[in-house]
């Protein structure tokens, strides 16, 4: 009876037989380890995912902002866009009732797609091709050799592809612009005029130009002069009267 042969490194081994020095269990373990390397390391830890699953929409956003160390959401377009990308993906996955492991792989998938775009400058066509290769590893396989290894079933895998079509791939050019296009920093500010303290004797604070007229301010708002000021005025008036009297006497003496 003839036996078909399959090619192996260093020689040939009958198809269906295990190479010398290995067992079906060790072969299965090695293949499992290779599959575990897909989408590793995890983008979010199991503890972080567990925390977010207990939060509402605002709580998920706050947790992810903390985990991603985004501190400039109000002024940085890139941080705001990325946070929206991850929050939307996580909420969609939660709506799909994914398990914690499925959440982990899906969030890592989202992050890797952006990594390929940002770091490797991967085109849309290459990203779609890469996604197909990854889904073939973590999704349902044709051979179903080890069905328990499949992270997602057929329905879930199709749903993931459909979600990525309307989220990332449909707006791929915008994400390319986000990562590749240099943007000018626009400085927005206002000029402020600071008034210094006026010298003694001047009403403080002075009336504002855009406020009321100075006449109205002086007549109705400016505080009345103090007693000291009034006394000084009376003294000046008396001195002036005395000075006029002395001048009059001097004039009389000159005429005499």
Q: How do residues 22-67 score in pLDDT, each as one tens digit?
A: 554 554 444 444 444 555 678 899 999 999 999 999 999 999 999 9
CB distance 94 to 57 below 8 Å: no
In this structure, the chain runs to a length of 256
Residue 69's pLDDT is: 92
Q: What percent of the chain has a predicted confidence (pLDDT) above 90?
A: 39
pLDDT exceeds 60 at position 159: yes
Residue 107's pLDDT is: 93
Question: What distance in Å separates the CA atoms of residue 61 and residue 88, rounded to the nearest whole number?
Answer: 9
Reference 113, options 161, 61, 63, 156; nearest CA is 161
- Give backbone dihedrals phi and psi of 252, rounded to 5 degrees, phi first: -65, -40
The pLDDT of 193-204, averaged and rounded, is 63
pLDDT-derived band at 238 (thresholds 50, 70, 90) equals confident
pLDDT-derived band at 221 (thresholds 50, 70, 90) equals confident
- Give backbone dihedrals phi and psi of 104, rounded to 5 degrees, phi first: -60, -45
Residue 92's pLDDT is: 96
Residue 195's pLDDT is: 63
pLDDT-derived band at 227 (thresholds 50, 70, 90) equals low
Reference 220, options 203, 232, 233; nearest CA is 203
CA angle 79, 83, 89 (to 5 degrees): 150
pLDDT exceeds 70 at position 84: yes
Lowest mean pLDDT of 45-54, 160-169, 225-234, name the range. Answer: 225-234
């Amino acid at each position: 009876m003839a036996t078909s042969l399959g090619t192996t490194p260093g020689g040939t081994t009958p198809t269906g037989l295990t190479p010398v020095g290995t067992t079906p269990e060790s072969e299965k373990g090695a293949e499992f380890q290779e599959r575990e390397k897909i989408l590793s390391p995890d983008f979010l830890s199991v503890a972080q995912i567990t925390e977010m699953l207990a939060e509402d929409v605002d709580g998920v956003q706050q947790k992810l902002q903390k985990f991603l160390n985004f501190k400039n959401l109000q002024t940085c377009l890139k941080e705001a866009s990325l946070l929206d990308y991850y929050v939307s993906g996580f909420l969609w996955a939660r709506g799909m009732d994914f398990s914690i492991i499925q959440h982990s792989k899906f969030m890592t998938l989202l992050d890797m797609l952006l990594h390929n775009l940002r770091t490797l400058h991967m085109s849309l066509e290459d990203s779609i091709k890469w996604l197909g290769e990854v889904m073939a590893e973590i999704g349902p396989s044709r051979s179903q050799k080890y069905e328990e290894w499949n992270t997602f079933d057929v329905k879930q895998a199709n749903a993931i592809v459909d979600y990525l079509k309307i989220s990332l791939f449909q707006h791929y050019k915008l994400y390319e612009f986000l990562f590749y296009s240099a943007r000018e920093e626009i400085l927005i500010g206002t000029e402020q005029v600071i008034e210094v303290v006026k010298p003694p004797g001047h009403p403080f604070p002075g009336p504002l130009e855009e406020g009321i007229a100075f006449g109205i301010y002086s007549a109705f708002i400016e505080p009345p002069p103090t007693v000291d000021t009034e006394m000084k005025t009376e003294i000046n008036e008396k001195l002036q009267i005395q000075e006029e009297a002395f001048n009059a006497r001097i004039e009389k003496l000159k005429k005499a």
